[in-house]
Structure formats: C-alpha cells, structure tokens
Amino acid sequence: MLAYSLGWLTGIVFLLIDKRPFVRFHAAQSIVTFGILHVLQIVLAFVWVGTSYYGGGWGIHWMVSSLISLVTFVAWIFLMVMAYQGKRFAVPVASSIAESLAGKV
C-alpha cells in the first residue's frame, strides 16, 4: 500500500529497496500508472499554454484536466485499498509494463 502513497515517487523507492515480488509489482505499477497520469497533466498544461495564446481553450482544458485529476485520485485510492487487502489488481495497460519493470531491477 505504501508504494502508492506518493504516486510514482514512492513506487521508485519501493522498487529499489524491496525484493518481495508482490511489493515490486505494485511499486512498478505505481511508477507506470501515476507516471503516465503525471506526464499527461504536464503535456496538457503545455498544450493549454499554446492554445490560450491563440484565444481560448479554457473550458476544454478545465474539463480534461479535471477528468485526469479525478481518474488519478480514484486510481490512487482504489490501488492502495487493493494492495492493502493483498490483492494483485492489474491496471489494464500499465500492468504488463510493470511486470517487465519489476523483473528487471
């Protein structure tokens, strides 16, 4: 559960210090899932800066940013609960990347 507590940051820490496969999987999944969502927020901010210069995009930016924030929050809570319960829930796209990442380090 702690691997998800600060998103991809704690994922990196637990991937490097813990050798248990269950913890390594959840740490890698935290890195991939929240890393992707974090990068999406950054890209959206840069896209918004470019479109605001040309006259608008506030409403669309707000809706997309709010949606990504909501998805991040719900995923954060859900994944922490699943890990706390000892369940190995696999996020559809991120889990395959996480499994390969967890096995490499």
What confidence score (pLDDT) does residue 47 get? Answer: 76
What confidence score (pLDDT) does residue 1 get? Answer: 87
**What's the pTM?**
0.81
d(C-alpha 37, C-alpha 20), whole Å: 26
d(C-alpha 103, C-alpha 19), whole Å: 10
On the 0-12 / 13-18 / 19+ scale of CB atoms within 10 A, 64 is: middle
What confidence score (pLDDT) does residue 80 get? Answer: 94
What confidence score (pLDDT) does residue 68 get? Answer: 93
Residues 6+ positions from 12 with CB-CB distance below 8 Å: 27, 31
Domain ranges of the chain: 2-104
Mean pLDDT by 10 residues, the chain (105 residues): 89 91 92 93 79 63 88 94 92 88 71
| Contacts for 66-69: CB closer than 8 Å, 24+ residues apart | 68/37, 68/40, 68/41, 68/44, 69/41
What confidence score (pLDDT) does residue 36 get? Answer: 93
